[in-house]
């Protein structure tokens, strides 16, 4: 089998598939229809008899006989035989019941996906074994453009997109196998990262990477919740599980050796001292700083290793940053104007009070030596600084997606050094609220579903969630804390939003800042008539008058341009100054919603707002909290949390003579 990834070929195929603009694609555009249940399909096709028997033993055939919306990646009998041969088995009767359950569920997804809806990355919905299937594209032995799953199996071209009454059949040529190892145990199998693994073990940080699931979490006491938001009547559920996860960026041995001359643990420790003694000078004279105290969290090598690890499982490389969704209408953006902005996310690491910035490089103006559409850690390449960062690469020669995480290669050191602290991260930090909480990322909540589809209580197109007290770490919840999945026509950053409802009183820890200084904290939201009024607190101190989320920028009593995009640079600066004096900014011009199929920048809409909450002095090693409390008396108590901005004085405090903050 030759797997050659030709994105040009695949793009041509997509162009042939996407001729319509309708939100609801016609079935004949994607698959044939034969009027039978998935169970009947498996039983009546002899080439799937082995998988059918496995499904029977797993007790799932009854499920596939009922109405639903499933995708079945049914392996052929030949695929099952190859799987058994690889295990030294000769018959499926030698499989345990647990084996059958795992195999059956691994190949079933509770959603319908045609091949035209499978974009590079991972399938939008996890399989019934709660694992995500990785998607790529290539050429089969007959030169057909096909969809590959988990790099090994591919959908059989002549059998793909075959409809049944309760879903769609996507037969495959290999059995899908997911690792049941923890991420640190998967990493041990890769000899190319032996030095990082030695450091991981020597520091004891590896012991932290075995968390997987909170077995005490019980969703049963929490019923489906029905609510209204603006003109929408919807419902939400609590998450079914509470999973923990990790993402690890790893320098291969070759990077240490060829770029830095490092070949052993002590040399790596010395490099860590070189980096972190400048950031934490108070450590140098302490006993825990020495080479024989590597397990102390303040030790330089311990800090070095910890900074490589995120406290969430991003699932795939494509999900390191806000991603595009492939569906019957083509590539559907999540609202980032990629010609103006590199899609980016910020993540806290296991090194206390630090974050990494991950970008997908899309802006040609600041390409530098970078590769377009590649992902980078701590890159800043603009008019002020030229730091290339470390490029993220997928691990291809070994399995890298574990039960509780995933790891990636990086082509340079990932470190919280002085350059990262004072230059790379000394900029406006904008974070979608869903990225503040690792549980939303690890449990597949953030950006779930199809943003082109409306609400559906059957949850075919995605799910809304609410979070009771205790689910999100470091968050205190009274009332309702709700996550509404993305919709590309909403006036929301990336299409999703958090809402507070009921008589709410909610507080959470702010993300850490890179260095000590003055910061402006801003809240991004979209006012509507049905929202309410909330008081905001910073460390339990009230910040100004309550926020009235029924008021738009038009209610401020100052003249605003009808078409902001046509203003000159000086005119924009003048308007920005007026709004800033009133503690407001327009929404970001680098983000958009879809309006009549066209990009409509949030900054052009007076119902897209950034409100200054406070300007405060923050130290990087301290915890600070935001609190939102309901003070509405108008019968509506909804408060929207779309995104947060943490902006250093070097950005927000520029004088008239300097280069003003951009409006992106």
- The pLDDT-based confidence of 90 (bands split at 50, 70, 90) is very high
Residue 262 has pLDDT above 80, yes or no: yes
Segment 168-216, tens digit of pLDDT: 999 999 999 988 899 999 999 999 999 999 999 999 999 999 999 999 9
Last-in-domain residue among 408, 427, 446: 427
Report yes or no on 294 lying in a domain.
yes
Q: Are residues 238 and 380 in the same domain?
A: yes
Q: How many Å apart are CA 382 and CA 331, to the nearest integer?
A: 28
Question: What does 391-458 look like in DSSP terms, one character per residue?
Answer: EEE---SS--EETTEEEEEESS-----HHIIIIIT-S-EEEEGGGG-HHHHHTT-TT-S-TTS---TT
CATH code at position 589? 2.60.120.260
| Whether residues 648 and 612 fall in one domain | yes
Residue 539 lies in a domain: yes
Distances (CA, A) of 104 to 49, 51, 57, 98, 129: 13, 7, 9, 10, 9
Q: Distance (Å, rounded) from C-alpha 202 to C-alpha 79?
A: 42
Q: Is residue 487 part of a domain?
A: yes
Element housing 326 (H / E): strand 325-327
pLDDT in tens, 263-306: 999 999 999 999 999 999 999 999 999 999 999 999 999 999 99
> What confidence tens digit (pLDDT) does each residue in 528-560 have?
999 999 999 999 999 999 999 999 999 999 988
Task: Provide the residue range defining the domain that includes 510.
Answer: 429-652
Mean pLDDT computed over 151-169? 96
Does 657 reside within a domain? no
Chosen domain end from 128, 143, 169: 169
- The reply to whether 213 and 306 lie within a common domain is yes
Per-residue pLDDT band at 16 (split at 50, 70, 90): very low
What's the CATH code of the domain at 36?
2.30.180.10
> Given this model, what pLDDT does residue 12 score?
36
pLDDT computed for residue 34 by the predictor:
54
* pLDDT tens-digit series, residues 555-577: 999 988 888 889 998 899 899 99
DSSP run (H or E) holding 108: strand 108-109
Contact indicator for 636, 502 with CB cutoff of 8 Å:
no
Which region among 22-26, 401-405, 498-502 has the lowest average model confidence (pLDDT)? Answer: 22-26
CA angle 191, 194, 195 (to 5 degrees): 155
Least confident segment among 5-14, 309-318, 393-402: 5-14
Lowest mean pLDDT among 87-101, 251-265, 622-636: 622-636
- The tens digit of pLDDT for each residue in 361-370 reads 999 999 999 9
In 121-137, which positions are buried (b, 16+ CB within 10 angstroms) versus exposed (e)?
Answer: bbbbbbbbbbbbbbbbb
Q: From CA 455, how far away is CA 461, in angstroms rounded?
A: 8
Q: Is the pLDDT of residue 523 over 90?
A: yes
Domain count, the chain: 3
User: Looking at the domain assignment, is residue 560 inside a domain?
Assistant: yes
- Is 422 found in the same domain as 554? no
Q: Say if residue 130 is in the same domain as residue 196.
A: no
- Cα 364 from chain centroid (whole Å): 24
What integer pLDDT is reported at residue 562 of this predicted model?
82
In a domain, 328, yes or no: no
DSSP 339-368: TT---EEEEEBSSTT-EEEEEE---GGG-T
Query: For the residues 210-232, what does the mean pLDDT come to?
Result: 95
Can you tell me the distance from the alpha carbon of 473 to that of 348, in angstroms, rounded to the nearest whole number? 13
Does 460 have pLDDT greater than 90? no
Closest CA to 152 of 129, 128, 177: 177
Q: Of 121, 149, 169, which residue constitutes the final position of a domain? A: 169
CA distance 478 to 488: 30
Domain identity same for 61 and 198: no
CA distance 404 to 410: 20
Instruction: Over range 420-443, report the average pLDDT.
Output: 98
* Nearest one of 333, 379, 339, 329 to 356, comparing CA atoms: 379
Neighbours of 572 (CB within 10 A): 20
- Helix and strand numbers, DSSP H then E, in the chain: 14, 38
Confidence of residue 115 (pLDDT cuts 50, 70, 90): very high
60 and 198 belong to one structural domain:
no
Helices of type H across 34-96: 38-44, 49-57, 77-86
Residue 268: per-residue pLDDT: 99
Give the DSSP letter of residue 335: S
Which range scores top for mean pLDDT: 107-121, 305-319, 650-664? 305-319
Query: Model confidence over 41-81: pLDDT tens digits?
Result: 999 999 999 999 999 999 999 999 999 899 999 999 999 99
**Tens-digit pLDDT profile for residues 316-362:** 999 999 976 655 555 566 889 999 999 999 999 999 999 999 999 99
- Identify whether 559 is part of a domain: yes
With CA atoms as reference, report the closest residue to 49 among 428, 581, 372, 57: 57
User: Does 17 have pLDDT greater than 80?
Assistant: no
Res. 658: pLDDT tops 70: no
Could you tell me if 104 and 125 lie in one domain? yes
Alpha helical stretches, state H, 107-211: 183-188, 194-202
Give the range among 12-21, 129-138, 175-184, 280-289 with minimum mean pLDDT: 12-21
Q: Picking from 220-234, 322-336, 395-409, which range would have the lowest pLDDT averaged per residue?
A: 322-336
| Residues 494, 343: Cα–Cα separation, whole Å | 10
Judged against a pLDDT cut of 60, whether residue 31 lies above it is answered with no
Instruction: Say what the pLDDT of residue 456 is.
Output: 85
Residue 615 lies in a domain: yes
pTM of the predicted model, to two decimals? Answer: 0.90
Which of the given ranges, 119-133, 313-327, 535-549, 591-605, has the highest pLDDT on average?
A: 535-549
Task: Give one DSSP letter per residue of 627-653, joined into a string.
Answer: EEEE---SS--BEEE-EEEEEEHHHHT
């Amino acid at each position: 089998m030759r797997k050659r990834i030709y994105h040009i070929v695949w793009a041509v195929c997509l162009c042939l598939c996407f001729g319509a603009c309708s939100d609801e694609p016609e079935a004949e555009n994607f698959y044939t229809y034969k009027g039978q249940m998935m169970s009947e399909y498996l039983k009546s096709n002899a080439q799937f008899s082995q998988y059918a028997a496995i499904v029977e033993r797993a007790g799932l055939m009854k499920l596939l006989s009922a109405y639903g919306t499933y995708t079945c990646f049914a392996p052929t009998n030949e695929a099952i035989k190859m799987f058994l041969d690889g295990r030294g088995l000769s018959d499926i009767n030698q499989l345990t019941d647990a084996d059958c359950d795992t195999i059956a569920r691994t190949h079933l997804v509770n959603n319908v996906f045609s091949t035209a809806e499978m974009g590079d990355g991972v399938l939008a919905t996890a399989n019934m074994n709660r694992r995500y299937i990785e998607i790529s594209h290539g050429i089969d032995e007959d030169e057909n453009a096909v969809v590959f799953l988990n790099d090994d199996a591919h959908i059989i071209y002549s059998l793909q997109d075959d409809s049944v009454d309760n879903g769609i059949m996507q037969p495959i040529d290999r059995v899908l196998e997911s690792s049941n190892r923890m991420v640190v145990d998967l990493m041990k199998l890769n000899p190319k990262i032996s030095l990082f693994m030695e450091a991981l073990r020597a520091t004891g940080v590896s012991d932290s990477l075995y968390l997987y699931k909170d077995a005490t979490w019980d969703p049963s006491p929490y019923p489906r919740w029905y609510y209204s938001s603006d003109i929408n009547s919807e419902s939400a559920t609590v998450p079914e599980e509470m999973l923990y996860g990790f993402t690890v960026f790893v320098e291969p041995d070759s990077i240490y050796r060829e770029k830095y001359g490092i070949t052993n643990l002590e040399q790596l420790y010395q490099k860590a001292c070189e980096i972190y003694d400048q950031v934490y000078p108070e450590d140098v004279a302490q006993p825990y700083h020495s080479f024989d105290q590597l397990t102390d969290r303040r030790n330089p090598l311990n800090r070095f290793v910890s900074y490589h690890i995120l406290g969430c499982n991003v699932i795939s490389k494509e999900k390191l940053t806000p991603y595009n969704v492939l569906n019957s209408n083509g590539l559907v953006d999540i609202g980032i104007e990629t010609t103006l902005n590199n899609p980016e996310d910020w993540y806290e690491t296991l090194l206390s009070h630090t974050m990494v910035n991950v970008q997908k490089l899309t802006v040609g103006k600041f390409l530098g030596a970078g590769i377009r559409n590649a992902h980078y850690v701590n890159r800043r390449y603009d008019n002020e600084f030229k730091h290339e960062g470390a490029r993220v690469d997928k691990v291809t020669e070994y399995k890298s997606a574990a039960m509780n995480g995933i790891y990636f290669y990086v082509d340079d050191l990932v470190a919280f050094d002085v350059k990262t602290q004072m230059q790379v991260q000394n900029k406006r930090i904008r974070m979608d609220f869903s990225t503040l909480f690792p549980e939303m990322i690890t449990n597949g909540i953030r950006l779930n579903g199809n943003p082109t589809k409306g609400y559906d209580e059957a949850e075919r197109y995605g799910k809304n969630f609410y979070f009771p007290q205790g689910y999100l770490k470091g968050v205190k919840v009274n009332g309702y804390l709700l996550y509404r999945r993305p919709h590309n026509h909403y006036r929301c950053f990336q299409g999703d939003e958090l809402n507070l409802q009921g008589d709410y009183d909610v507080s959470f820890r702010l993300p850490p800042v890179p260095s000590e200084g003055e910061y402006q904290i801003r809240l991004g939201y979209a006012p509507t008539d049905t929202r309410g009024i909330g008081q905001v607190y910073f460390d339990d101190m009230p910040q100004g008058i309550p926020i009235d989320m029924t008021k738009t920028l038009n209610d401020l009593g100052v003249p605003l341009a009808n078409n902001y995009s046509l203003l000159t640079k000086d005119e924009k600066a003048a308007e920005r100054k007026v709004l800033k004096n009133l503690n407001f900014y327009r929404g970001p011009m680098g983000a958009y919603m879809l309006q009549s199929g066209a990009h409509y920048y949030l900054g052009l809409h007076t119902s897209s707002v950034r409100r200054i909450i406070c300007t405060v002095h923050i130290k990087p090693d301290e915890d600070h909290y935001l609190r939102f409390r309901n003070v509405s008396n108008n019968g509506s108590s909804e408060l929207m949390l779309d995104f947060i901005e943490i902006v250093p004085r070097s950005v927000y405090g520029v004088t008239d003579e300097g280069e003003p903050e951009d409006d992106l």
